Amino acid sequence: MDIKGWRRLRIGTSSGMTPSMPIVSASNAANEFPALLEPQLCTHVEQPPRGVNWLHELKYDGWRLLARKHRDDVQLYTRGGIEWSQRLPRLVEADRNLRVDSAWLDGEIVHLDDAGFPDFEQLQRDMRARAERRLVFHVFDVPWLNGEDLTRRPLLERKTLLREGIEGCDPQIRFTDYVVADGADVFARADALDLEGIGSKRVDSGYYPGVRSREWQKVKCCRTLTVTIGGVQFDGDGHIEGLLVGTPTPDGLRFEGRAEFGLSRVGDLRQLLLERTTSASPFIGEWRSEPLRVDPSWLWD
C-alpha cells in the first residue's frame, strides 16, 4: 500500500532484527493441515505499545478474510467462518496460482482507490456487484505453510516466509508491510493520513486461533461525524441492515454512506423509522439503492 508518508516511517524494519524476548517454541510439523481455522483476534487498546519488541501495521478498512489453499483446492472464509469462494472467484484463482503447495493465509480484503487508500463504502458496493477489479487481499500472517504448522513460530519468521511465498505472484494478493518503530509515532502518522488506525503485534508472538490476545493489539483513530438519516435498508427477514446517512448542504442532503454497527442497541428503531417514511429521496447526487425513505430530520452521531 503506497501511501505517501507511510513508507518513510520504515525505520528499523524487520530485516535481521532479533527480538529481546524468548522465542516461542517451534511448531509440530506432524499436525494435520486443518480444514477450518479461526482467526486470532486483536485486543482494542487506547494507546499503542512502545518498544522494539513490537511491530506495527496499517489497519485497513476492510473485511477480515482467511484463505485455505491445498494444491489446486482453494476456499475463502470470513472471520465468522462463512465460505466466500463463490463471491470472489478471481481471488480464488490468484490463490491457486501461488508458489506454495498448501497454506492458510490471514488478511483483509479491501478496496483501494487511485491513491492507494482503502474505501470501505466502495468495498461494500464491489461485493454487492461481484466486482473484483479494485479488490486487494492484504495478507499479514501465514499460520500454516506447505503442510507445516507455524502457529508457534515467532511472528517475524512467519512474515519472512509469507513474503517469500506471495510476493511476485498475483498483484491481487499483497504482503502487508509493517514497521518496527515507536508506536506513538506510527499511530500519529496513520491518524494524519486519515486512516482507520494501526495494528501492533509482538515480534515474537505465536498465532493462537480464536484467541483475543494482548500480543496483538489495535488502536483506532477515533472520529465522529454528525449525520442525518435519509433512508433505511432491510434484509430479507425485515431486520434493519443499515442506515443511509448524509450531511446537509445548501443544495440538499449529501450522501455520506451507510451506518451498520450498533443499530441493535437502539430500541424500537425499526418502528420509529417506518412511522417517518416519505415518498421522495432526500439525497442529492449519486447514491446506490432504492431503500425505504425516512424523513431526513433525525441526527445520527
- At 67 the pLDDT is 98
Task: State CA 239 to chain mean position distance.
Answer: 25
Task: Give the pLDDT confidence of 242-285 residue by residue, as tens digits.
Answer: 788 888 888 888 888 777 655 555 557 777 777 777 767 788 87
pTM over 0.85: no
Please state whether beta strands 173-175 and 102-111 pair in parallel, antiparallel, or not at all (unpaired). Answer: unpaired
Q: Which helix (H) or strand (E) holds 156?
A: helix 155-166
- At 19 the pLDDT is 35
Between 184 and 23, name the one with better pLDDT.
184
- Residue 14 confidence class, pLDDT cut points 50, 70, 90: very low
- At 1 the pLDDT is 42
Comparing 58-62, 126-130, 228-232, the range with the smallest average pLDDT is 228-232
- At 263 the pLDDT is 55
Which domains are delineated in the chain?
7-14+36-220 (3.30.470.30), 227-300 (2.40.50.140)
- At 25 the pLDDT is 35
The three-class DSSP label of residue 287 is coil
- At 2 the pLDDT is 43
Which of the residues are catalytic?
59
Task: Give the pLDDT confidence of 229-240 residue by residue, as tens digits.
Answer: 888 877 666 777
- At 105 the pLDDT is 98
Helices (H) and strands (E) in the chain, counts: 5, 16
Task: Give the pLDDT confidence of 76-86 residue by residue, as tens digits.
Answer: 999 989 999 99
Task: For the chain, state the CA radius of gyration.
Answer: 21
Residue located via cell numbers 424523513? 295
Q: Phi first, then psi: give them for residue 262, nearest 5 degrees.
A: 85, 5
Q: Which helix (H) or strand (E) holds 202?
A: strand 197-202
Q: Examine the pLDDT at 88 and tell me if it is beyond 60.
A: yes
Which residues partner with 75 through β-bridges? Answer: 68
Reading the block at residue 86, the C-alpha cell is 463463490
